[in-house]
Amino acid sequence: MSTTSTTGPTDTTAPASAPAGRAVGSIARKVLDFSMDQAVWILLVLAIVIMGIFKPSFYSFGILSNILVQATVLGILAISISMVILLGDINLATVGTAGFSALLGVMAMKAGLPVPLAILLILVVGSLVGLVNGLIVTKLRANALIATLAMNMVLQGALLAITSGKSITSLPASYKFVSQGRIGAFPALPIVLIVVFAVFYIIWERTRFGRGLFAVGGNPRGAYIAGIDVDRVKIGAYVVSGLLSGLAGWLLSGYMGAVTSSFGTTYEMQVIAAAVIGGVSLTGGRGNMIGVLAGTLLLTVIQVGLAVLGIQSTLITLAGGLMIFVAVLIDASRNLYNSRS
């Protein structure tokens, strides 16, 4: 009797504790998975809350709309570089392409070319630079980092030489309309950002070209065996990257009302950080457009917020550098976590 009564409760409670432990472990795993997948959005919300605590006026319409305006060029350049990072390559010529394309378009416009054709010229020049980069990387098998770094130096050097260190100003209102215009009380520039992100979300998720980008970035050999023209996908990615850089060049020159000798240089490392923080893996094959948008907004919120708080510009630069370092750590952590899961 005593033996039966002693062992009875033990037999019934032991199986009950095991499912409970598994349930807790499953919940913890789901929370960790969610945190890793949505880390950038969590950081964005925390940044907005913290900025608002220290400066309640941060939540004003003027500052929030300004964040979206400031994020537009960075966001488009982040998509531009993400197209190539997704392949496991890199394109360090995005900013140089933006500046050089804008310079040629503005000079042609000053020489009498109609504004719509000048804008089209900027986009074409950007695409051609991307084509050259793509051909060098694919056909000559050049290292993407060195090739695009060299291209960026050539383009920025040409910009400096042509402008002789001076700014080209007095741009017509029709050229600046999208960048400086408003729709009611809302600036027009963020609308461009939303449209571009929506278009490339569809391209990445719903098109054959988008699937090709992920396949080539994840396993180039496997993609080739599956019948994907790897070189064509890579060249296409570089061309689109150049096109987006040209678009960013037009919008930034319109917003500034000028093309300067140091055009866009503040974006050079930020675009990589925005893409990587947003989940585009430096090893290729992984990323999503929603994450890139979040990474862009996070960097912009931090920079605008620090400026609103009255932080010295040197410390803002330091914060930008730290964010790039954080981007590398986040990417490494994701890769390590995914390899163990």
pLDDT tens for 159-185 read 999 999 899 999 999 999 999 999 888
106 residue type, one letter: V
Cα–Cα nearest to 190, from 199, 181, 203: 181
Which pLDDT value is given to residue 117? Answer: 97
Burial readout 264-282 (b: 16 or more C-beta within 10 A, e: otherwise): beebebbbbbbbbbbbbbb
- At 309 the pLDDT is 86
Residue 272: which of 305, 289, 296 has the closest Cα? 296
pLDDT of residue 319: 75
Which pLDDT band holds residue 269 (cuts at 50, 70, 90)? confident
**pLDDT of 310 strictly over 90:** no
Tens digits of per-residue pLDDT, 123-152? 999 999 999 999 999 999 999 999 999 999
Residue 93: predicted pLDDT: 96
Between CA 260 and CA 11 the distance in angstroms is 79
Task: Supply the pLDDT for residue 1.
Answer: 43
- What band does 84 get if pLDDT is binned at 50, 70 and 90? very high
Mean pLDDT of 300-317: 84
pLDDT at 6: 47
pLDDT at 341: 63
**Which pLDDT does position 225 carry in this prediction?**
94
C-beta of residue 103 within 8 angstroms of C-beta of residue 259: yes
Range of weakest confidence among 3-17, 23-37, 51-65, 187-201: 3-17
Q: What is the pLDDT of residue 4?
A: 47
Looking at the predicted structure, is the pLDDT value of residue 7 above 70? no
Q: What is the mean pLDDT of residues 106-132?
A: 97
State the pTM of this model: 0.88
Confidence of residue 281 (pLDDT cuts 50, 70, 90): confident
Strand pairing of 182-183 and 186-187? antiparallel
**Token pair for residue 42?**
């969590």
Please determine, for residue 58, whether its predicted confidence score (pLDDT) is greater than 50.
Answer: yes
HEC string of the chain?
CHHHHHHHHHHHHHHHHHHHHHHHHHHHHHHHHHHHHCHHHHHHHHHHHHHHHHCHHHHCHHHHHHHHHHHHHHHHHHHHHHHHHCCCCCCCCHHHHHHHHHHHHHHHHHCCCCHHHHHHHHHHHHHHHHHHHHHHHHHCCCCHHHHHHHHHHHHHHHHHHHHCCCCECCCCHHHHHHHHCEECCEECHHHHHHHHHHHHHHHHHHCHHHHHHHHHHHCHHHHHHCCCCHHHHHHHHHHHHHHHHHHHHHHHHHHHCCECCCCCHHHCCHHHHHHHHCCCCCCCCCCCHHHHHHHHHHHHHHHHHHHHCCCCHHHHHHHHHHHHHHHHHHHHHHHHHHHHC
pLDDT on residue 18: 61
Mean pLDDT of 210-235: 95
Mean pLDDT for the stretch of residues 248-271: 92
What pLDDT shows up at residue 213? 96
> In the predicted model, is pLDDT for residue 13 greater than 70?
no
Q: Report percent pLDDT > 90 for the chain.
A: 65
pLDDT > 80? residue 32: no
Q: How far, in Å, CA of 263 to CA of 106, rounded? A: 13
Residue 48 has pLDDT above 50, yes or no: yes
Across the chain, mean pLDDT equals 88
Give residue 60's pLDDT: 92
pLDDT number for residue 101: 97
